[in-house]
């Protein structure tokens, strides 16, 4: 009897790395977490990942065969199998393919976390059956993964899909990337907090948040205040969604997607962000695109979406190879 | 002996329709032009097109077989084979597939003129061998065709690729599409003329163009003045290129193309537009994309680029079908 095939999905984050075994149907058979500890050399990390994932494989009870490894990480390059100056990690450059090759002679694919999220939605989530869609991850920053003609767009250098660093207002907020007016400085958890400050300054709107200093303010606090009816917090969400929607009209004009799917902490606020985004997007759309594009929340709420996405990444590569050789 | 295969490439314009026979190597074996005359019903047009293209086929001397028909036209829908509210044409809606079906039981493909231009570059021009690139047509308006993973992006509705209607300045110039600040209102022949007016108003810069009224001003006049050293005309070109480059940075953040290729009348001004565009794009790019993307002029200077593009469109469909059945 042939063994059941599973893949290892890995999500490398600034503090912790999540990993798990994912089957072709999108079931997470087992997951675990370890410290990323990027102050130590990459070799140390990949050694521990090897040991920990072996243990996971032994522990699941079923007799499974590991068919490949998918890794999602910031600034990961699909074509080269490398990490290049990843934000929030101490490593400058990591040749993941070489590091993993020391342990497992297995198919490997890496890409950034938002691209992995897009593949997760395509294989297991809200984008099943779609050939043209965009996934936007609204967390600390704004990430994006773009699928057209049924394939993820990696671009000429493997680094396509940084909608968070397109310009909304040419003389707008300073972004940590050094540019002015990036979408990410408005539509993200940090962008929401910056908007709250702007409303403190520009309006007289009363708010319980006025007693919180900038350094202590979090998106969760703004969300809770908004749920409680705080008018300034509600306005901050409305503006965040509005700016997001304005800019999505540009993405639609490039790609004409069937849907734009949102995941990440800020997306959990649901219509508090998505409804003003819908309105602003429709207002800003070139007429031929109006009333066509769905804005929806992720459906990857079972299991770990980032691990599922990394699993989908390597499944997508395995199936493409299979299609080419059969 | 098997006959040489050729396709019919058709470019439907507001005034005239150009058509020609194109072989797989991108040679235009014969071309001709007829009036579009869209004040008469579409059936009249397609009847004349059938007669005229038959005559072309008889006249080329070689014993050729017509393998398919490709048509480029504004607002043409690849998936449906239709024209929907085409600008500059009197027709509301044309079912091209049905109209052509009355005459020729041949493979047919339609798309907008900029998409056809992109396929022309991929098959016969500057994008040969590239899998990720964008073509921008700088004429009266700004059209675009986007190729990723070696395939043209049609999007979910067949209408993707309207970079001309992305927003540069949220409260900028009124566009004929009804929106404010569209790229096309700056980076196009008409945008250039509007910029000249803005410079008349905002600066004291002397210019021979100050004696020309708005209605009479053409992009060609601005170009000639710039060639003669007119400082205001030169500044108008610089600003046009600058705005174009600013916005191209957004397209790169979506798609990370290997190159952006320019065709159309305004692109003939070459570095007068492309050099400020390059500078502004590099300044505005998210750091990981800097110094990678080539901005180049079309190399489809032999024959009619629009006819070649329409020919490439149907060649691309024929080859995809061939690949799927073999």
Task: Give one DSSP letter per residue of A229-251, joined into a string.
Answer: T-HHHHHHHHHHHHHHHHHHHHH
User: Cβ A292–B131 below 8 Å, yes or no?
Assistant: no
User: What is the pLDDT confidence band of residue B1, given thresholds at 50, 70 and 90?
Assistant: low
Q: How many CB atoms lie within 10 A of CB A57?
A: 17
| Chain B environment of A149 (Cβ under 8 Å) | 148-149, 151, 153-154
- B226-239 pLDDT tens trace: 999 999 999 999 99
Tell me: pLDDT of B308 over 90.
yes
Tell me: pLDDT of A302 over 80.
no
Read off the pLDDT of each residue in B18-41 and give the average, rounded to a whole number: 94
Residue A291 forms contact with B (CB below 8 Å) = no
The answer for A 30-49 residues in CB contact with B (under 8 A) is none
The answer for B 130-169 residues in CB contact with A (under 8 A) is 130-133, 146, 148-149, 151, 153-163, 165-169
pTM reported for the whole predicted model: 0.92
Which residue of B lies nearest to A144 if distances are taken between CA atoms?
B254
d(CA B45, CA B7): 19
Tell me: pLDDT of A155 over 90.
yes
Is there a contact between A315 and A30 (Cβ–Cβ < 8 Å)? no
d(CA B256, CA B13): 31
d(CA A80, CA A178): 26
| Cross-chain CB nearest to A254 (options B170, B246, B254) | B254
**Where is pLDDT greater, at A64 or B325?**
A64
Please name the residue that has the structure tokens 């497992």.
Answer: A104
For the record, the structure tokens of A315 come out as: 């499944």
User: Cβ A254–B249 below 8 Å, yes or no?
Assistant: no
pLDDT at B289: 95
User: What is the pLDDT confidence band of residue A1, given thresholds at 50, 70 and 90?
Assistant: low
Q: For residue A143, which of A126, A118, A124 has the smallest C-alpha distance?
A: A118
- A36-78 pLDDT tens trace: 999 999 999 999 999 999 999 998 877 889 999 999 998 899 9
Is there a contact between A307 and A56 (Cβ–Cβ < 8 Å)? no
Read off the pLDDT of each residue in B224-253 and give the average, rounded to a whole number: 98
User: Cβ B153–A151 below 8 Å, yes or no?
Assistant: no
pLDDT at A326: 63
| Cross-chain CB nearest to B153 (options A177, A249, A255) | A255
| Chain A environment of B157 (Cβ under 8 Å) | 256, 288-289, 292
Residue B83 forms contact with A (CB below 8 Å) = no
What percent of chain A has pLDDT above 70? Answer: 99
Is there a contact between B67 and B22 (Cβ–Cβ < 8 Å)? no
Read off the pLDDT of each residue in B316-321 and give the average, rounded to a whole number: 89
User: How long, in residues, is chain B?
Assistant: 326
| Chain A environment of B79 (Cβ under 8 Å) | none
pLDDT at A49: 96
- B131-186 pLDDT tens trace: 999 999 998 899 999 999 999 999 999 999 999 999 999 999 999 999 999 999 99
The answer for A 203-262 residues in CB contact with B (under 8 A) is 246, 249-251, 253-258
State the smallest CA–CA distance between residue A131 and chain B in angstroms.
7
Say which range, A320-324, B39-43, B161-165, has the weakest mean pLDDT. Answer: A320-324
State the smallest CA–CA distance between residue A170 and chain B in angstroms.
7
State the smallest CA–CA distance between residue B159 and chain A in angstroms.
7
User: Cβ B156–A257 below 8 Å, yes or no?
Assistant: yes
Which residue of B lies nearest to A249 if distances are taken between CA atoms?
B166
Which residue of A lies nearest to B134 if distances are taken between CA atoms?
A254
What ipTM did this prediction achieve?
0.92
pLDDT at B326: 64
Residue A80 forms contact with B (CB below 8 Å) = no
User: What is the pLDDT confidence band of residue A278, given thresholds at 50, 70 and 90?
Assistant: very high
């Amino acid at each position: 009897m042939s063994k059941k095939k599973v893949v290892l999905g890995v999500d490398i984050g600034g503090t912790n790395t999540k990993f798990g075994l994912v089957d072709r149907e999108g079931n997470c058979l087992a997951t675990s977490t370890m410290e990323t500890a990027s102050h130590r050399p990459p070799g140390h990390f990949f050694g521990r990942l090897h040991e920990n994932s072996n243990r996971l494989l032994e522990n699941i009870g079923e007799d499974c065969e590991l068919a490949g490894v998918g890794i999602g990480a910031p600034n990961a390059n699909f074509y080269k199998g490398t990490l290049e100056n990843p934000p929030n990690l101490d490593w400058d450059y990591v040749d993941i393919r070489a590091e993993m090759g020391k342990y497992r002679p297995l198919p490997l694919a890496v890409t950034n976390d938002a691209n992995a999220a897009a593949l997760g939605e395509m294989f297991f989530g809200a984008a099943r059956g779609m050939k043209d869609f965009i996934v936007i991850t609204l967390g600390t920053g704004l990430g994006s993964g773009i699928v057209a003609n049924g394939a993820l767009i990696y671009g000429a250098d493997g680094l396509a899909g940084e909608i968070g660093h397109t310009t909304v207002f040419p003389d707008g907020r300073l972004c940590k990337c050094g540019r002015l007016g990036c979408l990410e400085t408005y539509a993200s958890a940090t962008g929401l907090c910056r908007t709250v400050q702007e409303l403190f300054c520009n309006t007289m709107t009363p708010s319980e948040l006025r007693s919180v200093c900038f350094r202590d303010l979090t998106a969760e606090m703004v969300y809770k205040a908004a749920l409680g009816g705080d008018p300034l917090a509600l306005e901050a969400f409305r503006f965040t969604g509005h700016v997001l929607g304005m800019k999505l009209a540009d993405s639609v004009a490039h790609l004409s997607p069937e849907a734009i799917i949102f995941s990440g902490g800020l997306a959990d606020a649901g219509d508090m962000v998505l409804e003003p985004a819908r309105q602003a997007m429709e207002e800003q759309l070139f007429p031929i695109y109006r009333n066509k594009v769905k804005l929806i929340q992720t459906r990857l709420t079972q299991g770990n979406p980032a691990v599922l996405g990394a699993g989908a990444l390597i499944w997508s590569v395995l199936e493409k190879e299979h299609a080419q050789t059969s």
